[in-house]
Structure 1
């Protein structure tokens, strides 16, 4: 048995699209991302120019550790995330930061951590 640990302060990879910082740590069998969204961030404005498409097409499994976000799916369903919320967000959505505080999330879906906001 072993314990594997890495710090988000020294990520294996960092991506910085507009108003976004994605810090990725790679552990054996899992990638985890800490994503910081600045006030004014919106997927359709900040990430779509990097990845293309009409809406976010990745599945998110994680927890919001600070701030607030609104998520609206292509079918019109929506939800609000606040600090302390665990979430699953299915593909086909837009999202944005609510208020003047950065929203910080931890993403546990390894594939999403690996590809989110990557050209």
Structure 2
């Protein structure tokens, strides 16, 4: 078969740390995640207790579908991610939801999709 598709409504895996839902679909040669961050979510408060470390060590490649995220890298770089923005966020950062709407992203980096928020 030359076309493969799966629905995020029936993911292969779902992870639900505090204020977070990670829906993972596995396709031939790629793993993709839809991550929903609820208002009040912050990596250092919601994910750090699950994975440990001082900052997120996952490389993120994706796009934000809704909501807003603020990202601060360990080197001091800052960015606001808004809907329609494609991003690469290198390891070594904290992030949080801005405002009172959930932030929903699609992650295309297979390693991130497979490992994010996983013990």
- TM range, normalised to the smaller chain? over 0.9
Unaligned runs of 5+ in 2: none
Unaligned runs of 5+ in 1: none
User: What TM-score do the two structures reach when normalised by structure 1?
Assistant: 0.99
Deviation of the 1:76 alpha carbon:
0.8
Aligned to 1:75: 75
Pairwise CA RMSD of aligned residues?
0.6
Deviation of the 1:75 alpha carbon:
1.0
Deviation of the 1:79 alpha carbon:
0.3
Q: Number of aligned pairs?
A: 119
Aligned to 2:106: 106
User: What TM-score do the two structures reach when normalised by structure 2?
Assistant: 0.99
**Partners of 1:47 and 1:28 in 2: how far apart?**
28
**Partners of 2:31 and 2:20 in 1: how far apart?**
18
Q: Does 2:41 align with 1:41?
A: yes
For residues 61-84 of structure 1, the C-alpha deviation after alignment (integer angstroms, 9 at most, x for no partner) is 000000000000011110000011
**Partners of 2:74 and 2:20 in 1: how far apart?**
22
Partner SS for 1:50: helix
**Partners of 2:90 and 2:117 in 1: how far apart?**
16
Map 1:9-24; keep pairs closer than 5 Å: 9-24=9-24
Q: Does 2:25 align with 1:30?
A: no
